[in-house]
Amino acid sequence: MPHLLEQAETVRKEVGQQISPKRKSELGQFMTPATVARFMASLFSPSTLKTARLLDAGAGMGALSGAALDRFAVGGFHFQHVEVVAYEVDLRLRELLSEILAKYEGRFGADISVRRGDFIEEAVKLIFQGEEHFTHAILNPPYKKIHSASRHRYLLRRVGIETVNLYSAFVALTIELMQPGGQIVAIMPRSFCNGPYYRPFREIILAKTAIKYIHLFAARNRAFRDDDVLQENIIVLLERDAPQGNVTVSTSTDDSFTDMETNVFSFNRIVFPDDPESFIHVPTSLERNHIEVSPAIQFSLADIGLEVSTGPVVDFRLKPYLRQMPEKDTVPLLYPTHFSGQAIEWPKPGAKKPNAILRNEETEKWLYPNGYYVVVRRFSSKEEKRRVMARVVYPDSFDDSPMLGFENHLNVFHSARVGIPENLARGLAVFLNSTAVDEQFRLFSGHTQVNATDLRLLKYPSREVLTCLGAWAKAQGELTQQKIDQKIESLAWKKTEI
């Protein structure tokens, strides 16, 4: 029986090569490899139900529906009747989908309905009608932003769903269409696990389902390698209206699953009980990061009298006031490019970015007084080993300039928009540059962006400990990663001294 899935895989590869990248981007849909489809279907729990109703939204060429039917045909399932409802908006793919699923229909005796309507439109209608509740769903939803003024956004709001991307919309609608105990397996970008934009989506998941299983692909470009997709992807198994228990988490480098490792975690390792943002963490080791459990690293930024903000200077909005090099009535404008290692290279002659901004009535409100700050780049490239990279801003690097401009691609640690004490700045930068912080950050962030919200929700040592750490760092001269990590590990179990 599984040979039908291999036939579908051959068609997927052939057709995938013929579809232009532009068309794939327009649809936001990338076809599921057979190995991934089979793994996803394997997550469905055995069932004593007599009838199964399977939903495949954004079905492509039917790999997921086919894999689910293969799964239902083996031990542990007792379905006397299986119905499949598959949605596909693209005409060419829908014709192939019908051909492929027709073979399954003949083999399994399933009733298969291939629907051409827009899934968001159709799902909203079904929700209002209170019909078509499904027992199972398997989906690789399209990945594409939803415009705030679009019809899709309007329809989603009508059923109480507030979200910014098609993939989260598809999964949220699917949750609404499931009957109690219904299981959903979905592969989607990990970006929903953190950040403010996906908080309403996380709240839907946590309020209406239990998270049963999470699989993380360690390599960002391997789950959909044929389509050059660089998103970090996860597979989740959700169960509608089920009690939340422990969560199984597995990892593999790629879609071959040859090096898969599996652990079971209590739910409070996945969503921290005191986290107001409900970030979803994906721990990959039973060993707990010492930052996560240290009694000395339990302070919020507010506790230590600090704030973190996105750099307020949005350069294209202030373009008339930017200057390539410093001149009369300008102040330094800092971009990520000005920070090389631990040094500040400013001004930077020949750089693509300007080095200064005029100080006048139009720009004054976007500037900070010169002083000690800590900056963290908002974006890192996929090749970089670290996500969190912190640098100290030293006031004497800018002659006698009274003010500084921080460009929007930097996050800035400050105290009510003014600088902070030198040793506190040094200590904070050392802490943020530790391997333990980077590992902790990766538990809930699957993309290269580091948001101020993410940094705000980290736990920190006390102000006193950070200040002592800064004095230690200043006395060290050159700091290696090994020195930093050893020091942070040693302070993790001490309250006030280092």
What is the tens place of the pLDDT at every residue in 37-80? 999 999 999 988 999 999 999 888 888 999 999 899 887 888 98
Summarize pLDDT for 186-227 with one digit per residue, the tens: 999 988 998 888 999 999 999 999 999 999 987 644 444 444
Q: Residue 301: its pLDDT value, please?
A: 95
Query: Among 130-139, 156-165, 417-426, whose mean pLDDT is lowest?
Result: 130-139
Angle between helices 119-129 and 151-158 (to 10 degrees): 20
What is the residue type of 252? S
Q: Residue 498: its pLDDT value, please?
A: 45
Residue 299 has pLDDT above 60, yes or no: yes
Residue 31 has pLDDT above 80, yes or no: no
Rounded CA separation 176/154 (Å): 17
Of 409 and 31, the one with more pLDDT: 409
Q: Residue 28: its pLDDT value, please?
A: 45
Closest CA relative to residue 63, chosen from 1, 138, 124: 138
Query: Among 226-230, 291-295, 310-314, 478-482, whose mean pLDDT is lowest?
Result: 226-230
Rounded CA separation 170/143 (Å): 10
- How many CA atoms lie less than 13 Å away from 78 in the CB half-sphere? 4
H helical segments located in 28-108: 34-42, 63-72, 91-108
Does an H or E element contain 7, and which? Answer: helix 3-18
Closest CA relative to residue 315, chosen from 420, 225, 189, 405: 405
37, 215, 19, 63 alpha-carbon torsion, rounded to 10°: 10
Residue corresponding to tokens 């809930």? 444
Q: What pairing do the DSSP bridges indicate for beta strands 356-358 and 390-393? A: unpaired
Three-state SS for 335? coil
Residue 151 has pLDDT above 50, yes or no: yes
Residues with Cβ within 8 Å of residue 42, at least 6 apart in sequence? 71
Banded pLDDT at 131 (limits 50, 70, 90)? confident
% of the chain surpassing 90 pLDDT: 61
What CA–CA distances, in Å, run from 58 to 167, 183, 299, 418? 10, 17, 44, 50
Banded pLDDT at 1 (limits 50, 70, 90)? very low
The pLDDT of 467-475, averaged and rounded, is: 95
Q: Residue 394: its pLDDT value, please?
A: 95
Banded pLDDT at 140 (limits 50, 70, 90)? very high
Structural domains of the chain in order of their starting residue, each with its CATH number: 3-287 (3.40.50.150), 307-491 (3.90.220)
Rounded CA separation 389/433 (Å): 6
Q: 266: exposed, middle or buried (C-beta count within 10 Å: 0-12, 13-18, 19+)?
A: exposed
Summarize pLDDT for 324-379 with one digit per residue, the tens: 999 999 999 999 999 877 788 999 998 899 999 999 999 999 999 999 999 999 88
Q: Residue 43: its pLDDT value, please?
A: 97
For the chain, give the number of residues. Answer: 498
Q: Residue 230: its pLDDT value, please?
A: 43
Mean pLDDT (the chain, rounded): 87
Closest CA relative to residue 309, chosen from 167, 407, 435: 407
Q: Residue 97: its pLDDT value, please?
A: 86
Banded pLDDT at 496 (limits 50, 70, 90)? very low
Rounded CA separation 366/8 (Å): 56
